[in-house]
Amino acid sequence: MSLRRTCALKRRIANAPYLLKLKFPTTRCNRCGRFAMMPSSVASWLLFHLHTMRTDPISAAHFAGGHMDGYPDESNLKRQLAVDTIYRCLRCDLVEIDPAEWRQVYGLKDIEEFARQLAHVDPFRRVLPSDTGYEQHANEMMIWLAPELYNTRNGDALIDRHSPAGLDLDDEERIAAFNVEICEIFESNGVPWGSRPLVLS
C-alpha cells in the first residue's frame, strides 16, 4: 500500500471514537506520522481471530495456527508471533483471559508472566505417551490449551469499526484500515509492531 494511501487511512481512522487511553508517547515519522505496520497476511490473521472472539472464546493455541507469508507452519517464528500478538492484545485491553481468577488458577502474577510461560512452552513439540517427559509436557501445554481468550469491549468496538457487515478477508481496504488502527493502538500502549521478539521465556 502506498504511503499516501496509508496516511489517508490514518486520517479516516482519526475520526473513530477511541476507547483506549494512551499510556505511552508514540514514536513516528515527523513528516507523515507513519509507524511500523504488520504484513497484510498477519493483519488478516489477527482480524480473523479478534472477529472470532466476538462470540466464541478461544485458547492461545488457536493463535499458533493459520497461514501467513514469512511464518512457516510449526516454526519458532510462528510461535513467537502467537505469543507476542497475545501479549500485545492483553496489554492494549483488547483481549481478556477467562477465568477471571486465572492468576490464582495457574499460579501467575500478571500478563507478563502469562506471556513468558507461553513463550517457554513449545506448542508444536510432538511427544508420545511412551516418551520421557510426556507427562511434564502435557501439563505445561495447559497454558496454551486451558485459559480462554475473549474480546473486551474495546476489542469488540475495534472489530465493529472494521467488520460492521461481517468478516471479509478479501476486502483489502478494510484490512489495511484495521492494520493502521491496531498498530497505532500497539504503538500507543508501548508494544509497537516489530520484527524482534517482544516476549522471551
Tell me the H-state helices in the chain.
3-14, 40-52, 76-91, 102-106, 111-120, 134-140, 142-145, 153-162, 172-188
| Residue 98 CB neighbour total at 10 angstroms | 11
Q: Model confidence over 2-31: pLDDT tens digits?
A: 444 444 444 444 444 333 333 333 344 444
Q: Model confidence over 27-47: pLDDT tens digits?
A: 444 444 567 899 999 999 999
Q: Model confidence over 82-116: pLDDT tens digits?
A: 999 999 999 999 999 998 888 888 889 999 999 99
State the pLDDT at residue 166: 87
Instruction: Give the torsion sign (CA, 58, 70, 169, 16).
Output: positive
State the pLDDT at residue 106: 87
Which one-letter amino acid corresponds to residue 199? Answer: V
Mean pLDDT of 149-164: 95
CA distance 175 to 68: 14
| Strand-by-strand arrangement of the 148-151 sheet | 58-59, 148-151, 95-98
Mean pLDDT of 41-54: 96
Q: Considering the entire predicted model, what is its pTM? A: 0.83
Q: Tell me the pLDDT of the chain averaged across its residues.
A: 85
CA distance 37 to 72: 20
State the pLDDT at residue 20: 38
Q: Model confidence over 109-131: pLDDT tens digits?
A: 999 999 999 999 999 999 999 99
Q: Pick from 194, 200, 187: which is nearest to 18 by CA?
A: 187
159, pLDDT greater than 90:
yes
